[in-house]
C-alpha cells in the first residue's frame, strides 16, 4: 500500500509541477510584452493563464483514473497519500499552492463528506508553512552608501528592461520631490533611511509596478512606483503612490490579475499585507494571479470567522434579483450568490447562460469596474447560522441547489464576491456632493466597460455597487455581452398624436437594439440623479458616443485605464529639483 500511496502522491505532484512550469513560463514573458507594448497579447495571456489551473487538474485526473482505476475512497490509502504528499512538499518553494492542487484533485474524486482535514488540507501543513515563512522576497537598499539619487537609479535599473527610460534623470528628481511632498516619514537624512524593494516587478495591462517601503525613524512608508511604455520604445514613471487607500485600489478586486514572477509566494503575500493591511491574504493571492489559492485562503478565513462569530446569514439588502438570490453574513464583508431555479419571464436565458456570463467576466479585463467572483461547489454552512427568512427564500427559489446533511446546509453551486452598497441605496442616503461623485463614478464605470468591449446590458442603479473606497463597480452579469453584439440607435421622434401617445413602441425594435437616451428614463428617473449625471456624462445619452466606442473596439484600440487618480500622475507636475 505504501508504494501505491507514493505513486499517487507523485502523480499529483507531477501534475502540479506541470502547472507551475506553464504558469511561470507565461508569467515571465509579461516583461517582454510590456517592453514591446503588445497590449492585445497581454489580454490574451491573461485569459489563457486564468484557465491553466483547471486544465492541469483535468489532465491529472485523467492520469489518476487511467493508472489507478479509483472507484471509491480507501480511507487508509488516502491518509497515506496525504502523508506522503506532505513529505514531498517539505522543502517545496510553493507548498501552499501544492496543497490547494491536492485538494482540487481529491474533491473531484470523492464525495463531500470526506472533505475534512484527515484527507485534504482544510488547514495548511504547519511543517510546510514553517519552511516558507522566513524566506525573504525583497532587497534592502541603504541610500547612505551611494547617495539617494544613485540608489533610486539602481532600483529602477534592476529590472533590466530592454527599452531605455524616456528621461531617467527627470523621473528620479520628480520621484524624490513627490516622496518629500507626500510622505512625511521620508523626510530624514539618507543615513537614517532604508528602502525594501520587492524583487519581482508587477505587470498588468499597460503598466509595470515597483513595490516597496521606506523605513525611517518615523516608521514605514509603503509605496508603488507605476511605470508606463510610451509606445515609442521608452519607459517612464507615471506616478508614485504612497497613500494606502490608493495602493489598495491598485490591488482591488475589480481588476485583472498581476503577472508576478516570484520564487516564494507566501512571503510575497505577507509582505504585501504589511503594506496594505486592509487587504486579506485571499485577495492578495488572487491579485498576483493565484486565484485558486485565493479561494483556498478565503474558505479557511471564513471557517475561522464562523467559529468566532454568532450572527446569522441573511438576505442581502437591496432589490431582489430576477436571476440570482443573494445573501450575506453581516459581520463578514462578502456576499453569496446562487442562481435561481426559475427566472422572471423577462429573462430569456438558462442557468448555463448565466454561468457563461460569469466566466466571461473571469477571463476578461475587468478594468477596475467589474467585481471578481469566486466560484464554489458543494459548500457547507452550519444550519443554525441561517435566518429563518433566508432558509425559506432559498428553498423557494433554488430548491435544486439546497440539501441537508445532519446539521449542515449544503449549497451545490455559488459565487462569492466582496460586499458593496447597492448604488440605489447609497444614493438614497447621500448628500448632494456624494450624489455628484457617485454619478460621476457610475458614468465613468460605463465608459470604461464599453471601452473594454463589455456592454453591461441592464444599467439600472441597483446593478452597481459602491466600495469602501467610494468606487462604483458593476456586479450584475446576466445580460452583459460584447460591444459588437449591440446595435446602438437614435430613438425615432414621434410625428403623429397616435405615435406620441402609443403605449408600446410604434417603431421596430430588433433583438440587440439599444437606445442610449433611454438611460435617462429608466436608470435615472430621479430628476436629482439625472441632473448630476448630465453634469459629468451627457454624451452617454447619445448613440454616437456608443457607436464610436464600438468602432474603437473593432479597430483594436486598447484604451488607457489607470488604477489611480489622474491628478496624481507626473505629467501634471512642474519641473523637479535636481537631486543628482
Q: What is the pLDDT of residues 165-209, one digit of tens each?
A: 999 999 999 999 999 999 999 999 999 999 999 999 999 999 999
Q: Of 171, 177, 196, 372, which is the active-site residue?
A: 372
Q: pLDDT category, 128, cuts 50, 70, 90? A: low
Beta-carbon contacts of residue 316 (< 8 Å; ≥ 6 apart): 326, 327, 328, 335, 419
Res 127 pLDDT > 80: no
Is 320 known to sit in a ligand binding site? yes
Predicted pLDDT at 492? 85
**By percentage, how much of the chain surpasses pLDDT 70?**
99
Is 276 known to sit in a ligand binding site? no
Q: pLDDT category, 17, cuts 50, 70, 90? A: very high
Phi, psi angle pair for 278, to nearest 5°: -75, -15
User: If we measure between CA atoms, which residue out of 381, 295, 413, 419 comes closest to residue 390?
Assistant: 381
Res 148 pLDDT > 80: yes
Taking residues 23-51, what's their average pLDDT? 97
Q: What is the pLDDT of residues 217-270, one digit of tens each?
A: 999 999 999 999 998 989 999 999 999 999 999 999 999 999 999 999 999 999
Identify the burial level of 77 via C-beta atoms within 10 angstroms of its C-beta, where 0-12 means exposed, 13-18 middle and 19 or more buried. Answer: middle
Please give the grid coordinates belonging to residue 136. Answer: 525573504
**471 secondary structure, DSSP code:** -
Contacts 24+ apart (CB under 8 A), 205-210: 205/39, 205/42, 205/256, 205/365, 205/561, 206/34, 206/37, 206/39, 206/42, 206/558, 206/560, 207/34, 207/238, 207/562, 207/563, 208/31, 208/34, 208/159, 208/235, 209/250, 209/258, 210/155, 210/156, 210/159
Euclidean distance between CA atoms 332 and 309, whole angstroms: 10
Phi, psi angle pair for 214, to nearest 5°: -100, 130
Res 66 pLDDT > 80: yes
Report the largest interatomic distance among the alpha carbons of the chain, rounded to a whole angstrom. Answer: 87
Taking the alpha carbons of 503, 509, 512, 514 in that order, is the dihedral positive or negative? negative
Predicted pLDDT at 522? 87
Res 350 pLDDT > 70: yes
CB-CB contact of 569 with 560 (8 Å): no
CA 22: distance to chain centroid? 21
pLDDT, averaged across the chain: 93
Taking residues 433-461, what's their average pLDDT? 96
Predicted pLDDT at 90? 84
Predicted pLDDT at 30? 98
Phi, psi angle pair for 218, to nearest 5°: -80, -10
Predicted pLDDT at 62? 95
Please give the grid coordinates belonging to residue 164. Answer: 531605455
Res 131 pLDDT > 80: no
CB-CB contact of 236 with 166 (8 Å): yes
Is 316 known to sit in a ligand binding site? yes
Euclidean distance between CA atoms 336 and 356, whole angstroms: 18
Please give the grid coordinates belonging to residue 354. Answer: 448565466
Res 577 pLDDT > 80: no
Q: Quote helix, strand, coil % in the chain, to nearest 5.
A: 50, 15, 35
Res 68 pLDDT > 90: yes
- State yes or no: is 341 an active-site residue: no
The span from the first CA to the last CA of the chain, in angstroms, equals: 68
Res 130 pLDDT > 80: no
Q: What is the pLDDT of residues 524-547, one digit of tens each?
A: 999 999 999 999 999 999 999 999
Euclidean distance between CA atoms 227 and 26, whole angstroms: 20
| pTM as predicted | 0.94
Q: What is the pLDDT of residues 289-314, one digit of tens each?
A: 999 999 999 999 999 999 999 999 99
Euclidean distance between CA atoms 193 and 186, whole angstroms: 8
Helix and strand tally (H, E) in the chain? Answer: 21, 18
Neighbours of 264 (CB within 10 A): 20
Is 319 known to sit in a ligand binding site? yes
Beta-carbon contacts of residue 122 (< 8 Å; ≥ 6 apart): 115, 116, 300, 303
Strands 487-488 and 513-514: parallel
Taking the alpha carbons of 34, 545, 360, 564 in that order, is the dihedral positive or negative? positive
**Lowest model confidence (mean pLDDT) among 69-73, 117-121, 128-132:** 128-132
Res 576 pLDDT > 70: no
Predicted pLDDT at 245? 92
Collapsed DSSP state (helix, strand, coil) of residue 246 = helix
Predicted pLDDT at 1? 60
Helix (H) or strand (E) holding 522: helix 519-522
Please give the grid coordinates belonging to residue 394. Answer: 432559498
**In the chain, where the domains are located:** 2-133, 138-304, 309-419, 423-562
Euclidean distance between CA atoms 474 and 465, whole angstroms: 6
Collapsed DSSP state (helix, strand, coil) of residue 542 = coil
Please give the grid coordinates belonging to residue 345. Answer: 419571464
Amino acid at each position: 500500500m505504501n508504494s501505491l500511496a507514493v505513486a499517487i502522491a507523485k502523480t499529483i505532484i507531477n501534475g502540479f509541477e506541470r502547472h507551475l512550469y506553464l504558469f511561470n513560463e507565461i508569467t515571465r514573458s509579461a516583461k517582454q510584452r510590456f517592453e514591446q507594448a503588445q497590449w492585445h497579447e497581454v489580454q490574451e495571456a491573461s485569459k489563457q493563464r486564468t484557465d491553466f489551473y483547471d486544465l492541469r487538474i483535468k489532465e491529472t485526473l485523467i492520469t489518476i483514473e487511467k493508472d489507478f482505476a479509483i472507484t471509491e475512497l480507501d480511507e487508509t490509502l488516502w491518509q497515506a497519500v496525504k502523508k506522503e504528499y506532505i513529505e514531498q512538499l517539505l522543502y517545496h518553494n510553493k507548498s501552499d499552492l501544492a496543497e490547494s492542487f491536492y485538494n482540487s484533485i481529491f474533491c473531484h474524486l470523492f464525495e463531500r463528506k470526506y472533505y475534512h482535514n484527515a484527507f485534504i488540507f482544510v488547514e495548511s501543513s504547519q511543517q510546510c508553512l514553517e519552511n516558507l515563512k522566513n524566506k525573504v522576497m525583497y532587497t534592502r537598499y541603504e541610500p547612505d552608501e551611494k547617495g539617494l539619487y544613485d540608489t533610486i537609479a539602481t532600483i529602477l535599473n534592476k529590472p533590466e528592461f530592454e527599452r531605455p527610460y524616456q528621461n531617467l534623470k527627470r523621473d528620479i528628481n520628480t520621484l524624490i520631490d513627490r516622496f518629500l511632498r507626500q510622505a512625511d516619514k521620508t523626510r530624514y537624512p539618507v543615513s537614517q533611511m532604508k528602502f525594501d524593494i520587492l524583487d519581482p516587478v508587477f505587470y498588468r495591462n499597460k503598466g509595470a509596478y515597483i513595490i516597496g517601503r521606506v523605513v525611517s525613524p518615523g516608521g514605514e512608508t509603503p509605496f508603488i512606483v507605476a511605470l508606463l511604455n510610451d509606445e515609442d520604445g521608452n519607459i517612464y514613471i507615471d506616478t508614485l503612490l504612497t497613500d494606502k487607500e490608493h495602493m489598495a485600489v491598485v490591488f482591488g478586486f475589480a481588476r485583472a490579475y498581476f503577472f508576478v514572477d516570484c520564487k516564494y509566494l507566501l512571503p510575497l503575500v505577507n509582505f504585501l499585507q504589511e503594506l496594505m493591511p486592509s487587504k486579506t491574504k485571499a485577495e492578495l493571492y488572487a491579485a498576483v494571479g493565484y486565484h485558486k489559492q485565493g479561494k483556498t485562503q478565503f474558505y479557511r478565513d471564513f471557517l475561522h470567522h464562523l467559529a468566532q462569530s454568532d450572527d446569522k446569514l441573511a438576505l442581502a439588502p437591496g432589490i431582489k434579483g430576477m436571476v440570482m438570490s443573494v445573501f450575506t453574513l453581516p459581520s463578514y464583508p462578502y456576499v453569496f450568490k446562487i442562481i435561481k431555479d426559475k427566472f422572471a419571464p423577462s429573462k430569456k436565458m438558462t442557468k448555463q447562460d448565466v454561468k457563461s456570463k460569469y466566466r466571461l467576466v473571469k477571463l476578461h479585463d475587468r478594468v477596475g469596474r467589474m467585481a471578481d467572483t469566486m466560484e464554489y461547489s458543494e459548500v457547507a454552512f452550519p444550519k443554525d447560522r441561517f435566518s429563518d427568512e433566508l432558509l425559506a427564500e432559498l428553498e423557494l427559489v433554488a430548491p435544486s441547489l439546497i440539501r441537508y446533511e445532519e446539521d449542515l446546509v449544503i449549497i451545490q453551486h455559488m459565487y462569492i464576491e466582496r460586499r458593496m452598497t447597492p448604488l440605489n441605496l447609497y444614493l438614497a442616503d447621500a448628500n448632494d456632493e456624494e450624489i455628484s461623485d457617485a454619478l460621476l463614478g457610475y458614468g465613468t464605470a460605463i465608459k470604461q466597460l464599453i471601452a473594454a468591449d463589455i456592454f453591461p446590458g441592464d444599467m439600472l442603479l441597483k446593478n452597481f455597487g459602491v466600495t469602501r473606497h467610494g468606487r462604483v463597480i458593476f456586479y450584475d452579469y446576466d445580460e452583459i455581452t460584447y460591444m459588437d453584439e449591440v446595435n446602438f440607435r437614435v430613438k425615432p421622434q414621434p410625428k403623429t398624436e397616435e405615435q406620441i401617445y402609443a403605449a408600446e413602441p410604434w417603431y421596430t425594435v430588433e433583438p440587440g437594439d439599444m437606445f442610449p437616451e433611454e438611460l435617462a428614463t429608466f436608470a435615472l428617473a430621479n430628476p436629482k440623479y439625472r441632473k448630476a449625471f448630465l453634469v459629468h456624462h451627457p454624451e452617454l445619452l447619445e448613440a454616437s458616443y456608443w457607436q464610436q466606442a464600438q468602432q474603437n473596439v473593432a479597430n483594436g484600440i486598447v484604451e488607457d485605464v489607470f488604477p489611480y487618480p489622474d491628478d496624481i500622475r507626473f505629467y501634471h507636475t512642474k519641473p523637479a529639483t535636481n537631486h543628482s
